[in-house]
Amino acid sequence: MLDYYSKKTNICTAATRDYSFNIINNLSLKDKFLISGSADLFSSTKNYLNESRDFNSKGRYCGKNLRLGVREHCMGSLFNGINYFGYFKTYCSTFLVFSDYLKPALRLSALAGLKTNYIFTHDSILVGQDGPTHQPIETLANLQTLPNLKVIRPSSFVETLGGYMISYLTIKTPVCLILSRQKIEVSIQSNRYINLLLGTLKGAFILKKELNMLKLILISTGSEVALALEICHNLSKYTRLVSIPCIANFLTQSRRYVDKITPPNTYTLIIEFGIVDN
């Protein structure tokens, strides 16, 4: 899949939910035990498995797509039950702001060490015509505070692919993939794909390196990386941009790696839409 995108362009311009759709459908072709579900939002969260059919109670039990209706808590609980059985790879989806409706089930996933994977789209206030009811102002911060939960917020195809790799490699920890509705324009040279993929698995990497002595570090995730990249280009040659798609993985790295990515005693600015901790 990296080869496919490297032949197209060095500029990734698409919503990360679209990258996710391509990735999960490729995984489904290779993993017959992958199951995907949605709380009445398959067309928006884009995790429908095209090579399969719907699972239903009318005798069609071979389908890999579960339609759960507008019942986020029911969906999370059902997928927890599937993961207690432990044989399937599961992904269930809704909008990020609606993750509050399944919070008890998600919290149980973390407490019980279940491998339930969640896909939450519409990752920021940039949700178009839906308005304030769909804007996850405090949601991302709340998820980050939940113990034994990995929150991954990618900004490009490489990071989205890395997020799925983390979800496959992680044991006894649920994973949340936080994906964008809108397109994100991030310039990535194709010869850097492998290094950035490895950086994603470590949780953070340098997306744009300073051209001279480092004076300022910009840190961003998801939708805001494109904005941070533009600021970095316009600011000065002394500025570095760091993308941190998975804070949980970054915090487990060696002190040497952390200091390499974010050197101490350097001015640092974080660009991320959401609530500010006062």
The predicted pLDDT at position 55 comes to 87
Mean pLDDT, residues 56-69 taken together: 83
What would the 3-class secondary structure string for 248-265 be?
HHHCCCCHHHHHHHCCCC
- pLDDT tens digit string along 237-250? 899 999 999 999 99
Distance of CA 104 to the CA centre of its chain: 21
- Please give the mean pLDDT across all residues of the chain: 90
Number of domains in the chain: 2
- pLDDT tens digit string along 224-238? 999 999 998 888 889
Whether 174 and 42 map to the same domain: the answer is yes
What would the 3-class secondary structure string for the chain be?
CHHHHHCCCCEEEECHHHHHHHHHHHHHHHCCCEEEEECCCHHHHCCCCCCCCECCCCCCCCCCEEECCCCHHHHHHHHHHHHHHCCCEEEEEEEHHHHHHHHHHHHHHHHHCCCEEEEEECCCCCCHHHCHHHCCCCHHHHHHCCCCCEEECCCCHHHHHHHHHHHHHCCCCCEEEECCCCCEEEECCHHHHHHHHHHHHCCCEEEECCCCCCCEEEEECCCHHHHHHHHHHHHCCCEEEEECCCHHHHCCCCHHHHHHHCCCCCEEEEECCCCCCC
* 29 within a domain of the structure (yes/no): yes
The predicted pLDDT at position 105 comes to 97
* 276 within a domain of the structure (yes/no): no
pLDDT > 70 fraction of the chain, expressed in percent and rounded: 94
The predicted pLDDT at position 61 comes to 78
Would you place residue 275 in the very low, low, confident or very high pLDDT band (cuts 50, 70, 90)?
confident
Kindly report the CATH number assigned to the domain that includes residue 58: 3.40.50.970
Whether 178 and 196 map to the same domain: the answer is no
Residue 72 is a catalytic residue: yes
* 3 within a domain of the structure (yes/no): no
- Domain extent for 45: 11-185
Whether 263 and 160 map to the same domain: the answer is no
Whether 104 and 236 map to the same domain: the answer is no
> CA nearest 179: which of 156, 150, 154?
154
> CA nearest 48: which of 111, 78, 91, 84?
91
The predicted pLDDT at position 277 comes to 62
* 58 within a domain of the structure (yes/no): yes
Q: Is the pLDDT assigned to residue 258 strictly greater than 90?
A: yes
* 113 within a domain of the structure (yes/no): yes
The predicted pLDDT at position 274 comes to 80
The predicted pLDDT at position 229 comes to 92
**Among 72, 159, 224, 272, the one annotated catalytic:** 72
Mean pLDDT, residues 247-264 taken together: 96
**Where is average pLDDT lowest: 6-20, 41-55, 111-125, 242-256?**
6-20
The predicted pLDDT at position 86 comes to 83
Kindly report the CATH number assigned to the domain that includes residue 240: 3.40.50.920
The predicted pLDDT at position 11 comes to 54
User: Of 124, 150, 185, which one is at a domain's C-terminal end?
Assistant: 185
Whether 167 and 203 map to the same domain: the answer is no
Q: Is the pLDDT assigned to residue 206 strictly greater than 90?
A: yes
- pLDDT tens digit string along 171-198? 899 999 999 998 998 877 777 888 999 9
The residue with greater pLDDT, 137 or 151, is 151
d(CA 135, CA 131): 7
User: Of 122, 155, 185, which one is at a domain's C-terminal end?
Assistant: 185
Q: Is the pLDDT assigned to residue 269 strictly greater than 70?
A: yes
- pLDDT tens digit string along 117-126? 999 999 988 7
Q: Is the pLDDT assigned to residue 47 strictly greater than 90?
A: yes
The predicted pLDDT at position 133 comes to 87
Specify the residue for token string 């490699």. 169
Whether 127 and 243 map to the same domain: the answer is no
The predicted pLDDT at position 215 comes to 93
Whether 138 and 157 map to the same domain: the answer is yes
Q: Is the pLDDT assigned to residue 214 strictly greater than 80?
A: yes
